[in-house]
Structure 1
Amino acid sequence: MSSTTTAPPAAAPSKEDRRGLADLWLRSPTLGPLIALAIAVVIFSLTSSTFMNIDNMSLVLQQTIVIATLALGQTLVILTAGIDLANAAIMVLGSLLFAKLAAQGQPPLLALVAGFAVCTVIGAVSGALVTRLKLPPFIVTLGLLTVVTALGRLYSDGNSWPVTSDLLGYLGKGSYLFGQFYVTPGMFVMLAMFGIVWYALSHTAWGKHVYAVGNDEEAARLTGIHVRQTLFSVYVVAGLIYAVAAWQALGRIPNADPNAFQTGNLDSITAVVIGGTSLFGGRGGVWGTLVGALIVAVLRSGLTQAGIDSLYQDVATGLLVIAAVAFDQWARRRAL
């Protein structure tokens, strides 16, 4: 009489295993986005013969620069448990100031200084409304989104203004590395900014205060952290970063357009969230944001080459954001 043996069913992940996975996610928020980026690159490489072409890879990186820079400022705000819905509008206003002042005969350097000053001041206004009047960041930046968008259209008379100066378009003027890969100064500026902000967050008291405020504002206050000053400084620095994004944008497009980057604020939030920074503050980092911006660019490039309509690309991106937030919530609950 023959006898057969059956393998026991695979055991479901234990509570300890799930908690270990959650702890890993919380300790290394960049790991998940890196894996997702690698999977996306592999999939699109297999489904498209042109995806891994050097020209396409260079284009993907070029398309990442402006949104990644916007997302860098957005990361700082979200780390404090806030959100900035006006960042793209601030950037567009800055680009209009650069272009119109130069087109009207002002020295390009003066135009840059004026645009940087205005963007930084608007960031300071956001910070003051959040810290002094105790208004929710969502409401403050939603209101400023409307105000700044209108100001941009009024200032530009609803028209586009050409980039008439080599200085204004400098960040987009590149050359071919090793004769094939197109690189621009904007790439290096973006990477330098990410490095500077990473260092500030990781190795300075200011950075520790930013994380502490995002984790628990009241607890941070009780430990002696100047919460108002920290929050205010975050919005000011973010405004300065948006000005750099405005300069980068003029290197990517021939005209400063008041209707450009209408979804830039949402794209920047998408990059931050997909990059592993928690919308509830206190956890995440800038390198994850850079990976998140690359994921968005890779996803759009791959789906475009696959012939997928742009509306379906937006659906895919939105689902990815929801999945990232849901996983963050799951990890937080499991880690408790």
Structure 2
Amino acid sequence: MPTSWALAAGVGTVLLAVLASVLLGVQHLAPPAVLHALLGDGSDPQTAAIVAARVDRTVIGLVVGAAVALSGVVLQGLTRNPIAEPGILGLNSGAALAVVLGIRFLGLGTVGGYVVAAIVGTVVVALLVQSLTALAPRAAAPVSMALAGAAVMALAQSLIGAVLVTDRASFDSFRFWQVGSVAGRDAGQVLEILPVLLLGAVLALSSGPTLDAVALGDDLARGLGQRVLLHRGLAAAGAVLLAAGATALAGPIAFIGLVVPHVARALVGVGHRRLLLLSALLGPAFVVLADVVGRLVAPPSEVQVGIVCAVLGAPMLVLVVRRVRGV
């Protein structure tokens, strides 16, 4: 598909997702009532509150989706591993563990504080997973990295559970955040971590040439004039900042960074400049639509967006792993 058409389709998908997110929910609202609430022209207070909550979760879903999708593209490019993704590699769980520990023992209570803790947790887990992968045979690196990430993720989740069980207040406050959710958040929280997300996005979006060169191998990349270590470090920093910011904002949401890059790659090919741009559009649409599905699938209750993304993303992981084994 031509890049311009793919980008136009991505923009259209985002707009449809936003429209569905504002109009649909457990509480049925007629479109005119939603429009009046958005315009603020004296609509019913309850309707206005419902619409405001939908707008907040839509904004957060857009931000989180873009951040995790871009992080997934960069991680897959840097590792040359088709199943690399913040959730599968345990980065989200490491960030969540660091946030929970910060809340329990350091008294963190702001999104800005969560980001600092999440960055530390993400970096530690990334180094640990990379070290474990290095111990495995090189031919088995893709699956070994996924297994190392799964092991670290299981350990982090166990530690999170242990901390929350011993602290009832923390458990009550973060049981929904722990599985990944855009509900109950204030869109104003995005402003607290906007510098981190913007820096991560700039580093990720500018890493296209580096990722294209790395795909050819480090030796050839050096021959093309790339300062491989520096550019790899900058791209990795962008992926870490995006994953940490998204986790601090909405909790650990997995599989977005796996599914979106593969869908985008099927549409525009392997060039990372185009891949990054399209993923930055498809990621938000995926998260927002998953949130809408979670609202509608089991009324009057809601299914958290992290659970919906896992249900939709797990089959993609199986397909990608089978393809890697076939190659």
- In structure 2, what is the equivalent of residue 295 of structure 1? 285
* Structure 2: distance between partners of 1:30 and 1:57: 24
Contact 1:273 1:321 in 2 (8 A): no
Q: Over residues 171-204 of structure 1, what are the superposed CA-to-partner deviations in whole Å (9 max), with x where a residue is unaligned?
A: x9xx99xxxxx622226635x555434533566x
Deviations 1:229-249 (A, max 9, x none): 544554454234333233223
Whole-Å Cα distance in 2 between the matches of residues 137 and 284 of structure 1? 26
- 1:34 partnered with 2:32: no
Q: Which residue of 1 aligns with 2:193?
A: 189
One of 59, 62, 75 as aligned partner of 1:61: 59
Distance 1:41 1:144, change over 3 A: same
C-alpha separation in 2, matches of 1:38 and 1:130: 40
Alignment partners' CA distance in 2, 1:228 and 1:47: 47
Find the residue that maps to 2:272 and give its secondary structure: coil
Name the structure with the higher helix share: 2
Check 1:117–1:58 CA distance in 2 against 1; reply closer, same or farther (3 A cut).
closer
Distance in structure 1 (CA, Å) of the matches to 2:107 and 2:22: 48
Counterpart CA distance in 1 for 2:108 and 2:291 is: 38
Residues 124 and 236, structure 1, Cα contact 8 Å, conserved in 2: no
Q: Which moved more, 1:140-149 or 1:112-121?
A: 112-121
| CA-to-aligned-CA distance 1:272-331 (integer Å, 9 cap, x gap) | 444568685634354533321332234335545665898xx779956x989xx9xxxxxx
Summarize the Cα distance change of 1:129–1:103 in structure 2 as closer, same or farther, 3 Å threshold.
Answer: closer
CA RMSD of aligned residues (A): 4.9
Deviations 1:117-144 (A, max 9, x none): 2321322445567789856663343123
Unpaired runs of 5+ in structure 2?
35-50, 321-327
2:43 matched residue in structure 1: none
Matched, 1:84 2:80: no
Match of 1:334 in 2: none
2:70, 2:279 within 8 Å by CA — same for their partners in 1?
A: yes
CA distance in 2, matches of 1:240, 1:107: 19
Q: Give the aligned partner of residue 199 of structure 1.
A: 202
Q: Check whether the contact 2:14–2:284 (CA below 8 A) recurs between aligned residues.
A: yes
Q: Is the 1:96–1:152 contact (alpha carbons within 8 Å) kept by the matching residues of 2? A: yes
Give the aligned residue type for 1:122.
V
In the alignment, which of 96, 119, 124 is matched to residue 121 of structure 1? 124
SS at the partner of 1:139? helix
Question: How far 1:102 moved relative to its partner?
Answer: 3.4
Relative to structure 1, is the Cα distance of residues 50 and 213 closer, same or farther in structure 2, using a 3 angstrom cutoff?
farther
- Tell which structure's C-alpha radius of gyration is larger: 1
* Letter of the structure 1 residue corresponding to residue 256 of structure 2: D
Structure 2: which amino acid aligns with 1:213?
A: V
**Does the CA contact (< 8 Å) of 1:29 and 1:284 recur in 2?**
no
What is the one-letter code of the residue matched to 1:147? Answer: A
TM-score normalised by length of structure 1: 0.58
CA–CA distance in 1 between the matches of 2:229 and 2:140? 14
Structure 1 residue 213 displacement after superposition: 1.9
Structure 2 Cα separation of the partners of residues 200 and 236 of structure 1: 7
Change (3 A) 1:287 1:155: same
Deviation, 1:208, is: 2.7
Retained in 1: the 8 A contact 2:204–2:235? no
8 Å contact kept, 2:87–2:254 = yes
Q: Partner residue of 2:104?
A: 103
* Matched residue, 2:94: 93
Which deviates more from structure 2 when the two are superposed, residues 91-100 or residues 211-220? 211-220
Given residue 78 of structure 1, which amino acid in structure 2 is its aligned partner?
Q
Aligned residue type for 1:238: A
**5+ long unaligned stretches in structure 1:** 1-21, 177-181, 251-260, 326-336
| Aligned residues of 2:95 and 2:121 also touching (Cα < 8 A) | yes
| 2:87 partner amino acid | N
Equivalent in the alignment of 1:75 = 73
Identity across the alignment (%): 13
Other structure's SS at 2:274 match: coil
Aligned counterparts, 1:314-333, within 5 A? none
Q: CA offsets per residue over residues 136-171 of structure 1, 9 Å max, x none? A: 66334312322222321443354536559x9xx9xx
Cα distance in structure 2, aligned partners of 1:296 and 1:102: 30
Q: Report how many aligned residue pairs link the two structures.
A: 271
Map of 1:208 onto structure 2 = 209
Mapped partners of 2:246, 2:75: distance in 1 = 16
Alignment TM-score, normalising by the size of structure 2: 0.59
Superposition deviation, residue 271 in structure 1? 3.4
Deviations 1:69-118 (A, max 9, x none): 33332121234443424536322332222223432356779986555323
Tell whether 2:274 aligns with 1:284.
yes
* Conserved? CA contact 1:68–1:271, under 8 Å: no
**SS of the residue 1:284 aligns to:** helix
Counterpart contact for 1:198–1:286, Cα < 8 Å:
no
Question: Quick check: 1:266 aligned with 2:255?
Answer: yes
AA partner of residue 120 (structure 1): V
Aligned 8 A contact 1:70 1:87 in 2 = no
Once the two structures are superposed, the pairs formed by residues 119-158 of structure 1 within 5 Å of their partners are 119-126=122-129, 138-156=142-160, 158=162
